[in-house]
Chain A
Amino acid sequence: MKRNTFYLLAGIVALAEVGIFWLSVELERPILIQVAFVLGVLLLYAARRAVEERIEDERTAMITQKAALRTLEVFWVVFFAVSLGSAVIAFSRPLGLRPPHPGPPGTAPPDVLELPFIGGFALFQMALLCLMIFLYVGFRMYYARKYGGWDTDEEQD
């Protein structure tokens, strides 16, 4: 498989995932997008292995390892800090995963976390995962530059 074919396939898979996501929302079946996402990633991993011109050597492997390690080091701190904040919010009032008991007559219903908040948190988690991707790409670029990946020489002219 040629590199451009792989990029085309990746685009098609991404579009299909977006469509399946909306279908999943419409049908109220989260398992649909979850399975589709895992299958999509597996398909892309398999396709990437079939790309012909792709050469991976010890230097590119080292850059990948270093970038992954740095991403993990930064990301776990960010993720843990955000999770701590979320835990404080969650523990500050009763969880409202189901309609609360109205309580004794004449008293106000208990203050609970509402379902839209949980949906918002899911979106926030996805934003954090996007941050992880940006961090990884940034570190890759940094190490590729550090280990001479983008240097110019007389043969490039």
Chain B
Amino acid sequence: MKNRIKVYRAMHDLTQEGLANELGVTRQTILAIEKGKYDPSLELAFKIARFFGVAIEEIFLYGDVTERK
């Protein structure tokens, strides 16, 4: 599963540490999600989406990105 956390993080001028603190997880978890090595639970995915104020599918892209178009 791909995601655009890094993009949204940059848009909100947040570091991985800052985002991790806001979500109550470790920085390594944010790093692992961004690199696609760990898929977050549905709860954490919703938390991330709500934190950035967007729909969950704006951040997490299931399968190939081209499938959305």
Tell me the A residues contacting B by CB distance below 8 Å: 55, 57-60, 146-149, 151, 153, 155
- Say which size band chain B's interface belongs to: 10 to 19
In the complex, what residue of chain B is closest to A145 when comparing beta carbons?
B37
Contacts of A148 in B (CB 8 A): 28, 31-32, 35, 37-38
Q: Given contacts A148-B32, A155-B16, are A58 and B44 in contact (CB under 8 A)?
A: yes
Across the interface, which residues of A come within 8 angstroms of B34, CB to CB?
A: 153
Given contacts A57-B26, A60-B29, 7 further A-B contacts (CB under 8 A): A146-B37, A147-B38, A148-B31, A148-B37, A151-B32, A153-B34, A153-B35
Residue numbers in A under 8 Å from B44 (CB-CB): 57-58
Please measure, in the bound complex, the distance between the C-alpha atom of A146 and the C-alpha atom of B32, giving whole angstroms. 9
Q: Mask for B1-44, Cβ within 8 A of A = 1, else 0?
A: 00000000000000111000000111011011011011011011
Q: Is there contact, CB below 8 Å, between A57 and B38?
A: no
Residue numbers of B with Cβ under 8 A of A are 15-17, 24-26, 28-29, 31-32, 34-35, 37-38, 40-41, 43-44
A57–B41 Cα distance when bound, in Å, is 11
Q: Is the CB of B25 within 8 A of A55?
A: yes
CA distance A35 to B34 in the complex (A): 47
* Contact of B26 with A60 in the complex, beta carbons under 8 Å: yes
Would B37 and A151 count as touching, CB distance under 8 A? Answer: yes
Q: Are B35 and A151 in contact (CB under 8 A)?
A: yes
Return the contact of B17 from the options A57, A58, A59, A155 (Cβ within 8 A): A155
Which residue of chain B is the closest to A153 with respect to CB atoms?
B31
How near does chain A come to B42, taking the closest CB pair, in angstroms? 11
Say whether B32 contacts A58, CB under 8 Å. no
Min CB–CB distance A57 → chain B (angstroms): 4
Contact in complex: B25, A58 (CB < 8 Å): yes
Q: Are A55 and B37 in contact (CB under 8 A)?
A: no
